[in-house]
Structure 1
Amino acid sequence: MPKEENIYQPLLSYIEEKNAKAISEIISEMEAVDIANFFEILDDTQRVFLYELMDNEVSAEMLLYIDEEDRKEFLKNFSTKEIAEEIIGEINSDDAVDIISELPEHQQNEIIQYIDDNELAQSIVDLLRYDEHVAGSLMATELVKVDHNLSIIAAVKEMRKQAEDMDEVYSIYVVDEQDKLLGTLSLKKLLTTSTSSKVSDVYNSKIRCVQDNEPAEDAARYMQKYELFEVPVIDALGRLVGRITIDDVMDFIKEETDKDYQLASGIATDIDSTDTILNITKARLPWLFIGMVGGLIGSRVLQGNEEAMSHVPALMFFVPLIAATAGNIGVQASAIIVQGLANNTLGQNTLKTLMKEVSVAVASGLILSLIIFGFNLFINHHDMMISITISVALLSVIIIAAMIGTIVPIFLNKNKIDPAIATGPFITTSNDILGVMVYFTIAKLILGL
């Protein structure tokens, strides 16, 4: 039995016994994320029973941590009115949007109509309008802001009202009469400044912010670069519309990493182990088909060089080595480039990047070629010219594969296509085919076939 189930075994026994009192005592001491982990191992009936024993605030937070598909299935047990009142009304606007956006459009509209808090309802409507790939989709509208004309004592009173609806307060934002972001107000200034002073006299006008319509990936990089726990979000007019916290960015990065990993593995759409067999098959088939087509092209290349192999049968033995090396080198080069693009550390000098990868390929290729040359000459006892042919072909293939692995991700990125596509079957298949073609071309040139 897994470790988690050992920890949760007493709680599981109480659920089977329907011992509500004992369950309530245990879950009252647990964090929402731990309850969610336990929730995953229960069947639907047990989940409903446990859920009804929690207060709305804890149960709503717990739902944020469970698997998306499990959450969608579990919410079928509740009416739209119950979802609005017991779940959406207990969480921040950004989390509310995450849950609502998973539901059918007609159900989304019904839930919004049942939300008693008009301000929250309007915030959710506004956030739902953002594309999922822009910074606005990551933000929450709950924040603490004060007008720059207020006195310190009036600002503190205003901040207390706004903070009541927030779990954590990281920053206090200063705005003007049009809600344009002017800066931030530090806790130190609040504690050390005279209460009769105005906010405009003490706030910090140095602003680090992101725009609501800029790519979410850029916003995440910005927060990473300046090591921010929170960043304010402004619209095109400079008005403060929300804030992005570090937990929102971490969730986004995890989702993007999962997608990139799946693309690199040859999976066309975002799936996980809980998806249906049909969905998983549909996601895997496109790249498997491309791989199959690549294999067929490779077989045609070999057929076209059948005469060369009949004259020098030893050439055939090294086809797997050439193809595998080409694929591996290409994947290594593309992985480094994609990582650099993702971290924004690659720079703008494409030629410099290409030359660096080619230099690495030359160094690696020379070492491997010398090893294979010695192996063929002294262990396999091949002819000198055959040994030279295989080594030269191997070096050439390594250099070409590295160039392709470098150029393709950069090209895709410049054309707004996810470069992660280039780290998987695409590079492997194309370099396999090209490697074999280069191999036999060099063999014909050197051996005069």
Structure 2
Amino acid sequence: MQFQITQELIDNVELLIEEKNDAQLKHLLDEIHFADLAEIVDELNLYEATYLIKLLDSEKTSETLMELEEDVRERILDKLSAKEIAEELEEMDTDDAADIISELPEDRVENVIAQIEDNQHADNIVELLAYGEDTAGGLMAKELVRVKETWTVAGCVREMRRQAENVTRVHSIYVIDKEGKLKGRLSLKDLLTASTKTHISEVYIPKVDYVTVDTEGDEVARIMQKYDLEAIPVIDNNGVLVGRITIDDIVDYIKEEAEKDYQMAAGISQDVEADDSIWQLTRARLPWLILGLLGGLGSVFIMESFEEIMVNPAYRTLFFYTPLIAAMAGNVGVQSSAIIVQGLANNNVKGSILQRLLKEIGLSLINGLALAAIIIIFGLIMGQEFTFSITIALALMSVIIVAALVGTFVPIILDKRGIDPAIATGPFITTSNDIFGIFLFFYIAKMMLGF
């Protein structure tokens, strides 16, 4: 049965903390999984959460800290001494420890690293901090099992036992040469069935997927997804094996990137949470709102240049279709851009620009004809002049085609220039297509109706 956090449990934990009944508190939480413990910590105030982290063994609390939201974790770490943080880091894999270090204020980083007793662990963390956050080097962990091609099977097994003590999960066994360069991978089945005197060079598999320390996180995710990899080795520019990226790390990366893209598509320019300060939320939202305002003002000037529509009673009906045209332009643009952005992220946007152009025009014509037919039928039911209905239908088709093209090519152009195409969705596309849509609507109406 899945563990459930109850108010009774939270109340009990708070009471034991208040009474400083450490023995009973440890007994209560001893069998609780670190992920469930993180949920409990989330329900406590800062003093209670810090008390719990300090009380329990670092073997469990280090995992618990990694499960917490970043802002919650930062507040707790702020209450811990450099020595206490170092004790937590010593229980973590190097990639997680590097993530924690990167969240600390600069003036604390050196003190914390100096308190780590395992010098090799400390050096590995410092090495990881030198890589870009969204590169394979920044995502990898140093813990892995590596064997040399010159070893015998018997010697390999002995060395694997020693190395595995520092590795949480052994996904793969990597084979290196005497210079540390990646040569291939070792099948556990081949290792178990081979003679103890057989050399690893005779049984290892030379074909192995890998990435370099400079490979972008998105590309790492694409390779691991394509080949269904649980882990992938990372090499430096000289081919030396320096680390590995596991599936849980890349899933976390994909989740974070998806959240960023979702917020960007919604017009939020920074990574924020619901409980962030008003100032942080304002800074994240205001730039896109200003863009929307400028777009709206642009629409005002366009409509003002066609003011005869509102003055002349014969054409005033067109004015009431303005929101419909703007909404359809925005919707079509967002649909097109969302598909392209997703395709770019998955590396599924194939073919030439011309092929994409022809496909979008064809799709837009089909959608436009269907929606235009609905407009004409609506006009007939409402007793609207047929010329008006045809004008609105033609304008709607034109707007849909232009909006689809804008929604398609803006993300592609941004991607080619090295800019995150996710900014093309949401307010950016909606605002630009609102302006194009209203202009096209009134311009086509002016040509068709001759005002």
TM-score by length of 2: 0.96
> Within the alignment, does 1:368 sit opposite 2:350 as a pair?
no
Distance (whole Å) between structure 1 residues aligned to residue 14 and residue 141 of structure 2: 35
- Match of 2:103, SS? coil
Q: Which residue of 2 aligns with 1:290?
A: 291
Q: Which residue of 2 aligns with 1:178?
A: 179
Q: Which residue of 2 aligns with 1:35?
A: 37
Distance 1:354 1:38, change over 3 A: farther
Distance 1:4 1:354, change over 3 A: farther
Give the Å deviation of 1:165. Answer: 1.0
Cα shift readout 1:357-396 (whole Å, capped 9, x = no counterpart): 22222111111111111111232x1212111111110111
Identity %: 48
The question of whether the paired residues in 2 share the 8 Å contact of 1:232 and 1:244 is answered with yes
Query: Out of 21, 24, 31, which is 1:22 matched to?
Result: 24
Distance 1:250 1:400, change over 3 A: same
> Within the alignment, does 1:333 sit opposite 2:336 as a pair?
yes
Distance (whole Å) between structure 1 residues aligned to residue 248 and residue 13 of structure 2: 29
Gaps of 5+ in 2: none
Distance (whole Å) between structure 2 residues aligned to residue 6 and residue 426 of structure 1: 48
Distance 1:3 1:297, change over 3 A: farther
> Within the alignment, does 1:400 sit opposite 2:402 as a pair?
yes
The 10-residue stretch of structure 1 (107-116 or 390-399) with the greater mean CA deviation from structure 2? 107-116
Give the Å deviation of 1:15. Answer: 4.0
Distance (whole Å) between structure 2 residues aligned to residue 139 and residue 3 of structure 1: 33
Give the Å deviation of 1:275. Answer: 1.6
The question of whether the paired residues in 2 share the 8 Å contact of 1:308 and 1:444 is answered with no
Cα shift readout 1:405-441 (whole Å, capped 9, x = no counterpart): 0011111111101100011100000100110000011
Distance (whole Å) between structure 1 residues aligned to residue 250 and residue 97 of structure 2: 16
Q: Which residue of 2 aligns with 1:350?
A: 353
The question of whether the paired residues in 1 share the 8 Å contact of 2:5 and 2:39 is answered with no
- Match of 1:40, SS? helix
Query: Out of 429, 432, 445, which is 2:431 matched to?
Result: 429
What is the letter of the counterpart of residue 222 of structure 1?
Answer: I
Q: Which residue of 1 aligns with 2:325?
A: 322
The question of whether the paired residues in 2 share the 8 Å contact of 1:338 and 1:409 is answered with yes
> Within the alignment, does 1:300 sit opposite 2:301 as a pair?
yes
> Within the alignment, does 1:207 sit opposite 2:220 as a pair?
no
Give the Å deviation of 1:160. Answer: 0.8
Query: Out of 56, 78, 81, which is 1:79 matched to?
Result: 81
The question of whether the paired residues in 2 share the 8 Å contact of 1:69 and 1:274 is answered with no
Q: Which residue of 2 aligns with 1:92?
A: 93
> Within the alignment, does 1:108 sit opposite 2:113 as a pair?
no
Q: Which residue of 1 aligns with 2:310?
A: 309
Q: Which residue of 2 aligns with 1:150?
A: 151
Cα shift readout 1:243-262 (whole Å, capped 9, x = no counterpart): 00001101110110011011
Give the Å deviation of 1:134. Answer: 1.1
Distance (whole Å) between structure 1 residues aligned to residue 14 and residue 357 of structure 2: 58
Cα shift readout 1:287-328 (whole Å, capped 9, x = no counterpart): 000101111111111111001332311110100000001000
Aligned-pair Cα RMSD in Å? 1.5
Q: Which residue of 2 aligns with 1:194?
A: 195
Give the Å deviation of 1:5. Answer: 4.1
What is the letter of the counterpart of residue 33 of structure 1?
Answer: A
- Match of 1:184, SS? strand
Distance (whole Å) between structure 2 residues aligned to residue 33 and residue 202 of structure 1: 40
What is the letter of the counterpart of residue 204 of structure 1?
Answer: I
The question of whether the paired residues in 2 share the 8 Å contact of 1:301 and 1:436 is answered with yes
The question of whether the paired residues in 1 share the 8 Å contact of 2:336 and 2:407 is answered with yes
Give the Å deviation of 1:448. Answer: 0.8
Q: Which residue of 2 aligns with 1:378?
A: 381
Q: Which residue of 2 aligns with 1:415?
A: 417
Give the Å deviation of 1:214. Answer: 1.2
TM-score by length of 1: 0.96
- Match of 1:173, SS? strand
Distance (whole Å) between structure 2 residues aligned to residue 39 and residue 355 of structure 1: 55
Aligned residues: 446
- Match of 1:243, SS? strand
Give the Å deviation of 1:18. Answer: 4.1
Distance (whole Å) between structure 2 residues aligned to residue 433 and residue 34 of structure 1: 50
Distance (whole Å) between structure 1 residues aligned to residue 11 and residue 50 of structure 2: 18
Gaps of 5+ in 1: none
Give the Å deviation of 1:345. Answer: 1.2
What is the letter of the counterpart of residue 342 of structure 1?
Answer: A
- Match of 1:166, SS? coil
> Within the alignment, does 1:262 sit opposite 2:270 as a pair?
no
- Match of 1:64, SS? helix
Give the Å deviation of 1:22. Answer: 3.3
Cα shift readout 1:30-81 (whole Å, capped 9, x = no counterpart): 1111100110110112112222331111011110110111111111112212
Distance (whole Å) between structure 1 residues aligned to residue 405 and residue 303 of structure 2: 24
Q: Which residue of 2 aligns with 1:271?
A: 272
Q: Which residue of 1 aligns with 2:53?
A: 51
Distance (whole Å) between structure 2 residues aligned to residue 294 and residue 112 of structure 1: 50
- Match of 2:234, SS? strand
Q: Which residue of 1 aligns with 2:231?
A: 230
Query: Out of 387, 390, 408, which is 1:388 matched to?
Result: 390
Distance 1:299 1:53, change over 3 A: same
